[in-house]
Amino acid sequence: MATEDLMTKVLDALGDAQPTAEAIHDLTDLAEVPSSMTIAEVADRLALSAHTLRYYERAGLVTVARDSQGHRVYDAGAVRRLVFLTRMRLSGMSMRELQHYIELVDAGEHTVPERTAMLAEHRATIIRRLRELTLSLVAVDYKIATYGGAAGSDVERGPSRDAAA
Amino acid sequence: MATEDLMTKVLDALGDAQPTAEAIHDLTDLAEVPSSMTIAEVADRLALSAHTLRYYERAGLVTVARDSQGHRVYDAGAVRRLVFLTRMRLSGMSMRELQHYIELVDAGEHTVPERTAMLAEHRATIIRRLRELTLSLVAVDYKIATYGGAAGSDVERGPSRDAAA
DNA sequence: ATTTGCGTTAGAGCGCGCTCGAAGTCCTAG
DNA sequence: CTAGGACTTCGAGCGCGCTCTAACGCAAAT
């Protein structure tokens, strides 16, 4: 019964989900961002490779200043944007979409409606993904619970093929 | 506060999660599988392309019989296995892992412990992914709630940059 | 008899998101 | 003076998971 509970609970939780957000601030973007960081520091902090950071820059997702030696200097704004980008990437937004979104951001305030629309759509995608994953979780639990997992023959070709419902 | 609730709820739900499964049977594998289907029918049913089904077969994930015309004939077992495989793919298990899993299945009962271990590990992966997605959901909700989304400058370079915690 | 349609095979190609290599610059420590 | 190490640019390469093309077979419908 715990499995059914799981699914119901999660699905219920997903059902509510009317945002408000307040103290989650740092969870989202902030959390003491030094006013300037090197590529190595940012990479470390975001758990990305320096390669990837350069790639994101080339892709037009962030603009990063250089110091006298030509080395990248990430200011707080850049880092926060990268935090946002990383979160979006992790939640399944494609590079292409992110590029579009950033174009909108750079285009000015009048694109806010379209941005909001994008976020709303992405939100829906996340929810779908959550449901999907929850379903798979139930399936995996079922497999684990019944036996090592017969992958296809399911009720392991044995004599008794009834058991439960 | 609804947002915090969301996260807490989902995370709590994920916390319990001790499987049991009973009536979810069909949710997992079954649900009236005809005793034999064509590739088009299976593709349709699983929302995969015939191309993909052939690819899975080539990859060694399923064995499919042929009729007198050399056309594939999917029996119930094959279809059930494909349902399982699809669910695993959707929840993020790689082709490589799935190939290994199927090798184990085909190797016999003595591999059940290893299979169970794989499933357990995958379960953990799903949970991690669910947490990650939930976090991103909160972040997106936050962005939507505060404004179109300033992507980086976050608290839109305005004067007041304090608000809540 | 031929067209339509669904299937077959082997193998090439593709989009994505990195990931890496090569060659070079600059700074610091020994 | 030299070696090491962190950085730079540019461009090629890669792993994954499909996805598609080409050439062909068979069978029912026209």
Tell whether B62 is covered by a domain. yes
Tell whether B30 is covered by a domain. yes
For strand C, the positions having any atom within 7 A of a protein Cβ are 6-9, 16-21, 26-27
Tell whether B84 is covered by a domain. yes
pLDDT band, very low/low/confident/very high, at A61 (cuts 50, 70, 90): very high
Structure tokens at B155: 């608290």
Tell whether B155 is covered by a domain. no
| Number of folded domains that form chain B | 1
Predicted pLDDT at B44: 96
- How long is the CA A89 to C1' C23 vector, in angstroms? 32
Model confidence pLDDT, tens digit, residues A77-126: 999 999 999 999 999 999 999 999 999 999 999 999 999 999 999 999 99
Domain enclosing residue B88, as ranges: 2-146
Q: A-chain residues within 8 Å CB-CB of B28?
A: 138-139, 142-143, 154
Q: What is the CATH number of the domain that holds B121?
A: 1.10.1660.10
Q: Roughly how many angstroms between the first and final C-alpha of chain B, as a whole number?
A: 13
Looking at this protein, which amino acid is placed at residue B65? A
Tell whether A162 is covered by a domain. no
DSSP state of B163: S
Tell whether B64 is covered by a domain. yes
pLDDT band, very low/low/confident/very high, at A42 (cuts 50, 70, 90): very high
Give me the phi and psi of A65, to 5 degrees please: -75, 165
Q: A123: closest CA among A20, A12, A17, A6?
A: A17
Asked whether residue B17 carries a pLDDT value surpassing 60, the answer given is no
The better pLDDT of the pair B55, A151 is held by: B55
- How long is the CA A78 to C1' C12 vector, in angstroms? 42
Q: Which residue is associated with the tokens 């799903």?
A: B126
Model confidence pLDDT, tens digit, residues A3-28: 666 667 766 666 555 544 444 554 55
- Å between A44 CA and nearest CA of chain B: 18
pLDDT band, very low/low/confident/very high, at B33 (cuts 50, 70, 90): confident
Q: Is A161 helix (H, G, I), strand (E, B) or coil?
A: coil
- Å between A70 CA and nearest CA of chain B: 23
Q: Which residue is associated with the tokens 């009317």?
A: A18
Asked whether residue B161 carries a pLDDT value surpassing 60, the answer given is no
- Would you say the C-beta of A87 is within 7 Å of strand C? no
Tell whether B152 is covered by a domain. no
Asked whether residue B148 carries a pLDDT value surpassing 50, the answer given is no
pLDDT band, very low/low/confident/very high, at B32 (cuts 50, 70, 90): confident
Q: B-chain residues within 8 Å CB-CB of A82?
A: 152
Tell whether A150 is covered by a domain. no
